[in-house]
Amino acid sequence: MELSYELKKVGKSNGLFLDGIGMFGLIQNLPITLFQDSDGRGHLLLHIERIEEQVKDLLSVFENRKKDLRIKEVSCVEHMLHLEFKSFFLDEKLANKLRESIRLIDAFCEDKALTLLPNCQRCKEQKELRAYTLNENGVLLCEDCSTAVESEIIEINTALGDQERNHLKGFLGAVLFALPGVLLWGVLEYFLGVVSLATSILIAWLNFAGYTYFQGRQDQYAKWIIIGANMVSISLGACLIFLFPAIVSGVELTILLDALISNAEVQKEILRYVMVSVGLSIFAWWYLFVAVKKVSVEIKPAVPVRLH
């Protein structure tokens, strides 16, 4: 969800960075994440594994201020302090509640004389940190760990794109998986005389499932290959619609194949079925462009919060 301007002001004033869900950084050298959920409500996550002995006292601070800070819930799960706010951080007054919460964390650490040094989130050693985004997640790493993670990512991405995953296997799998849908389409057309939208979408979905099951390579070409497999499936279905009634009537297969190759009227009728089914499949194609994405892992320097 897009961060509100007032929430960005909070992040900028505290030297935070942007990630895929919100903002992250350090408060008193403790990692913190701020984000808004789908309803626009604010959340604060504070890593507290380094101050476990003081956690109960910190929880009490926020429990005692829940009402005036408009905090819906205070919880501690898996070494994380979680504050869920009732407020929608869309104006300065409500964003000030978040500022006050951060100030309380600052004051608490100072009162307890907690002089913490920056701590790498991977090796846990006290070193100079840099902010990165690992896919959608913000991480604070030392230089050595960021180099190690980059090497691991290269290995992961190589494994994701190895030769066992290839376009041909995915294409064949997409066509094979769609055969039941093609047969169903032919039967419906023969008995009901309709080209079903549901059947067209089913065929496209089976193409997608087959490509995935046969480990087709998940890259920028995947969606186009699946659409190509869908076109082949549709063409097979159109031919089946022509062949099925004739075969049932006892017409020899050689005569039918000759008609498919040389009869312009038959070809025109098959093309009509193909065009209608392509039109119906556009709904499924739209889904493919949204759902099929290149699978990869990426780390890059995080961007500081800016107001413009």
Q: Which residues of 71-83 are buried (b: 16+ CB within 10 A; e: fewer)?
A: beebeeeeeebeb
What are the phi and psi torsion angles at 72 (to 5°)? -80, -40
Instruction: Give mean pLDDT, residues 256-281.
Output: 74
More confident residue, 281 or 106: 106
Nearest Cα neighbor of 304 from 142, 132, 145 is 132
Looking at the predicted structure, is the pLDDT value of residue 256 above 90? no
Least confident residue range of 26-35, 91-100, 178-187, 276-285? 276-285
The residue type found at 199 is: T
Contacts of 124 (CB under 8 A, 6+ apart): none
More confident residue, 220 or 26: 26
In DSSP notation, 150-202 reads HHHHHHHHHHHT-TTS-HHHHHHHHHHHHHHHHHHHHHHHHHH----HHHHHH
What pLDDT was estimated at residue 206?
A: 87
Q: pLDDT band at 226, cuts 50/70/90?
A: confident
What pLDDT was estimated at residue 243?
A: 72
Give the rounded percent of residues in the chain with a pLDDT score beyond 70: 83
| Whether 215 contacts 225, CB under 8 Å | no
Looking at the predicted structure, is the pLDDT value of residue 264 above 60? yes
3-class secondary structure, 135:
coil
What pLDDT was estimated at residue 186?
A: 73
* pLDDT tens for each residue of 135-150: 888 999 999 999 998 8
What pLDDT was estimated at residue 107?
A: 93
Spatial distance between the Cα atoms of 148 and 150, rounded to a whole number of angstroms: 5
3-class secondary structure, 118:
coil
| Whether 63 contacts 18, CB under 8 Å | no
In DSSP notation, 38-84 reads TTSEEEEEEE-GGGGGGHHHHHHHHHTTTTTTTEEEEEEETTEEEEE
Average pLDDT value for the chain: 81
3-class secondary structure, 296:
coil
Counting runs of H as helices and runs of E as strands, what totals does the chain give?
A: 9, 10
Q: Which one of 140-144, 169-173, 260-264, 275-279 scores highest in mean pLDDT? A: 140-144
Nearest Cα neighbor of 195 from 275, 257, 254 is 275
Least confident residue range of 62-66, 162-166, 219-223? 162-166
Spatial distance between the Cα atoms of 237 and 290, rounded to a whole number of angstroms: 26
Looking at the predicted structure, is the pLDDT value of residue 133 above 80? yes
CA end-to-end span of the chain:
17
Q: pLDDT band at 287, cuts 50/70/90?
A: low
* pLDDT tens for each residue of 44-89: 999 998 888 898 999 999 999 998 888 999 998 888 999 998 766 5
| pTM for this entry | 0.59
- CA 116 to each of CA 108, 110, 232, 295: distance values in angstroms, whole numbers, following the listed order: 13, 10, 63, 38
More confident residue, 66 or 296: 66
Q: pLDDT band at 163, cuts 50/70/90?
A: very low
Edge to edge, what strands does the sheet with 41-47 contain?
71-77, 80-88, 41-47, 30-36, 22-27, 17-18, 303-304
Looking at the predicted structure, is the pLDDT value of residue 215 above 80? no
What pLDDT was estimated at residue 198?
A: 67
What pLDDT was estimated at residue 145?
A: 93
